[in-house]
Amino acid sequence: MLIQATPPAIQDAAQALRRGELVAFPTETVYGLGADACNGMAVAKIYALKNRPLHNPLIIHVASVEDAEKIGQFDSRAQTLASSLWPGPLTLIVPKRNGNGIAANATAGLDTVALRIPAHPVAAALIQSAGTPLAAPSANPSGTLSPTRPEHVARHLAAQGLIVLSGGATTIGLESTVLDLTTHPARILRPGAIGLDELEPLIGPVQMADGTEAIKAPGQLKRHYATRTPLRLNAVDVKHGEAFLGFGNVGFIGVESVGFVRDMDHHLWRNLSPEGDLHAAATHLYAMLDELDQSGAPTIAVQAIPMQGLGIAINDRLSRAAVPK
């Protein structure tokens, strides 16, 4: 059920979480599917509903740095990043503290834990009211597009009676940056809105683990964030009948501009950002892919996205989505 995220609705949702039920809620990145991270039965429901492999650990969402430090061991790098960049779209992987109360299945039995304080006011209020850390992956079936609007959650995650707190479209539109702080130097396991440009001035050199390698070797990528319709990346033309996802100047396809509207004569065409703005593109990425996925076109041609700034995270998701089934 889609429920407007008013303060009383958030209270009710928090109570449901305390009873061991799941609640979907908005964050600034994508919609999350939350459970009380200290309740193994509740956490198990997340894996079951998403059909998520049990060995894929969940991010634990907390309300304060103090709460985070009760769950994980923070070295000086973690402390610096937490105080500078939280709340925000950054997940830190740190060694787990013994007896931290987090259910073992939430971390897939690892001795490390992924922690984040989300910036979205609804997420913050929900974690506060629940009074417990929330294990929360994206609110979609495992491997499919992440939800950036409440309707996506309701449409793709069929669960009777699931509370979906509705807070409009998410602003960032891409999952959080995942930074592994258990190594020196730290490594970005998943690129996101917070990039090397923000991290390195704070903690020194940071390696890219996935993102760059991913682009170099698309054949070895694990399929994830995927549409049902095959993607054709770095398209320099649009074939007859194809859907098209553009970025910036789309003059090469023979029309002056593609806006956010259905094209009259062709299959569905969309432009992530006619102005060529990577932030706008990230915000629109999953919703537009979702629309094009439903257009019935045999393939979706995707124009090249520059490999800089947020473009690194966008290309990471696109290249994983393009891995054949």
Interface positions with Mg ion (CB under 5 A) = 137-138
Q: How many residues line the site for ligand AMP (CB under 6 A)? A: 16
**Helix %, strand %, coil % of the chain (to 5):** 35, 20, 50
Alpha-carbon distance 102 to 135, whole Å? 9
Omega cis (within 30) before 306: no
114 binds ligand AMP (CB under 6 A): yes
Which strands, in side-by-side order, build the sheet including 2-4?
Answer: 2-4, 163-166, 23-25, 32-36, 134-135, 59-61, 112-116, 90-95, 177-180, 186-190, 206-208
Q: Residue 231: name the closest of 142, 145, 105, 310 by CA.
A: 145
130 binds, among ligand AMP, Mg ion, none (CB under 5 to 8 A by kind): none
Omega cis (within 30) before 57: no
Pick the stretch among 7-15, 51-59, 201-209, 296-304 that binds ligand AMP (CB under 6 A): 51-59
Q: Which amino acid is at 19?
A: R
Pick the stretch among 56-64, 126-134, 157-165, 280-288 that binds ligand AMP (CB under 6 A): 56-64
Query: Do the strands 206-208 and 243-246 form a parallel or antiparallel pair, or are they unpaired?
Result: unpaired
Minimum Å gap between C-beta 71 and Mg ion is: 20
Minimum Å gap between C-beta 27 and ligand AMP is: 10
Pick the stretch among 53-61, 254-262, 284-292, 305-313 that binds ligand AMP (CB under 6 A): 53-61
Alpha helix (H) ranges present in the chain? 7-18, 40-50, 65-71, 76-85, 121-130, 150-156, 196-203, 211-216, 278-293, 310-321
93 binds, among ligand AMP, Mg ion, none (CB under 5 to 8 A by kind): ligand AMP
107 binds ligand AMP (CB under 6 A): yes
Q: Residue 91: name the closest of 25, 184, 188 by CA.
A: 188
Q: Fill in the DSSP letter of residue 140.
A: S
* Residue 178: both structure tokens together: 């995942």
28 binds, among ligand AMP, Mg ion, none (CB under 5 to 8 A by kind): none
Nearer to ligand AMP, 60 or 250 (CB): 60
Member of 13, 16, 82, 113 binding ligand AMP (CB under 6 A): 113
Radius of gyration for the chain, computed over Cα atoms and rounded to the nearest angstrom: 20
58 binds ligand AMP (CB under 6 A): yes
Using CB under 6 A as the criterion, what x/- string covers residues 229-268 for binding ligand AMP? ----------------------------------------
Nearer to ligand AMP, 157 or 297 (CB): 157
Pick the stretch among 110-118, 153-161, 200-208, 313-321 that binds ligand AMP (CB under 6 A): 110-118
Minimum Å gap between C-beta 188 and ligand AMP is: 11
Nearer to ligand AMP, 152 or 190 (CB): 190
Question: Site residues for ligand AMP, window 136-195 (CB under 6 A)?
Answer: 137-138, 175, 178, 189-190
* Residue 18: both structure tokens together: 């305390």
CB 90 within 8 A of CB 176: yes
Alpha-carbon distance 124 to 297, whole Å? 40
> Alpha-carbon torsion 136, 137, 140, 141, what sign?
negative
56 binds, among ligand AMP, Mg ion, none (CB under 5 to 8 A by kind): ligand AMP
List of residues contacting ligand AMP (CB under 6 A): 56-59, 93, 107, 110, 112-114, 137-138, 175, 178, 189-190
